[in-house]
Amino acid sequence: GLEELMPRLLPVGDCDLAEDFDPTVPPRTPQEYLKRVQIEAARCPDVVVAQIDPRKLKKKPTVNISISGCQPAPEGYSPTLKWQQQQVANFSAVRQSLNKHRNHWRSQHLDSNVAMPKSEDEEGWKKFCLGERVYSEIDALSDNENLGIDYMKVGFPPLLSIVSRMNQATVTSVLEYLISWFGEKKFTPELGRWLYALLACLEKPLLPEAHSLIRQLARRCSEVRALEESKNEEQISALNLIICLVSRYFDQRDLADEPS
């Protein structure tokens, strides 16, 4: 009956084994090996019951469930379809221009104070893009500091000469670093500029990891937008823009804002 359910893949017929055959010692011939496998299989119980420590089941496991769509915009702040279509057209033009002139901007010399971090340097990229002020969440600034020049404090803008030097692996990595930071922090203009620039550098068709990242980004933007108490129009517009690009340019239509 057992062989009808589990037919032999390596059938073993009658074979002449030595009278002193001992299945506990390493086999010396192919016949001894196959015979030993048969004996071990016959000794296995038909049903095996796992021994579970009930104390480990007392703690309820944490399950993270991600909704498929984005949270709707606050009442009165949902972008119109015309506005979304215009943003997609503008974004497409930016991408075309970037691709056309990428080699030119890549050949331009960087200022001596621009030291691009290595691709795997997560903390270095966060500080490079956001600046020490945003990264360290320093609100008060000294009036004596000329922060418009000290890019280490205010962050380097996504200049074409910088982003043109980033390959797709680096673009995806930096996007992941910034989205991770944004997952627990507030939205800032510095973050918004870099997210837009990195999306403009992202090649289509999307790799699976990039696909997952931009969906995560759109959802996070919708969460921050829904919790925006002051109804800052400039910030809500920036969040609307990122959601629009992810959903309508990168074809994640289930995340799109539906015009009211």
Residue-level pLDDT, tens digit, the chain, 260 residues: 444 555 566 565 655 666 677 777 787 777 777 777 777 777 777 777 777 777 666 555 454 445 567 898 888 889 999 999 999 999 999 999 999 999 999 998 888 888 899 999 999 999 999 988 887 776 545 444 554 457 777 889 999 999 999 999 999 999 999 999 999 999 999 999 999 999 999 999 999 999 999 999 999 999 999 988 778 889 999 999 999 999 999 999 999 998 76
- CA 124, distance to chain mean position in Å, is 18
Q: How many CA atoms within 13 Å lie on the side-chain side of 161?
A: 8
DSSP code at position 253: G
pTM for the full predicted model: 0.70
The number of beta carbons lying within 10 Å of the beta carbon of residue 116 is: 16
The CATH code of the domain that includes 92 is 1.20.58.1070
Q: Which of 128, 110, 126, 121 is nearest to 165 (CA)?
A: 110
What CA–CA distance (Å, rounded) separates 194 from 178?
9
Q: Within a domain: residue 109? A: yes
Structural contact between residues 231 and 239, judged by C-beta atoms closer than 8 angstroms: no
Structural contact between residues 91 and 245, judged by C-beta atoms closer than 8 angstroms: yes
Q: SS3 helix, strand, coil % of the chain, rounded to 5?
A: 55, 0, 45
**Separate counts of helices (H) and strands (E) for the chain:** 10, 0
Q: Within a domain: residue 60? A: no
Residue 138 token pair: 């320093």
Q: Which of 160, 166, 174 is nearest to 128 (CA)?
A: 174
Q: Within a domain: residue 42? A: no
**Alpha-carbon dihedral sign for residues 20, 24, 28, 33:** positive
Q: How many distinct structural domains can be found in the chain?
A: 1
The residue behind tokens 């699976």 is: 208
- Residues of the domain holding 119: 81-138+149-254
Q: Within a domain: residue 24? A: no
Structural contact between residues 247 and 88, judged by C-beta atoms closer than 8 angstroms: no
Q: Within a domain: residue 25? A: no
Q: Within a domain: residue 15? A: no
What CA–CA distance (Å, rounded) separates 250 from 256?
11
The number of beta carbons lying within 10 Å of the beta carbon of residue 20 is: 5
Q: How many CA atoms within 13 Å lie on the side-chain side of 146?
A: 1
Q: Within a domain: residue 52? A: no
Q: Within a domain: residue 44? A: no
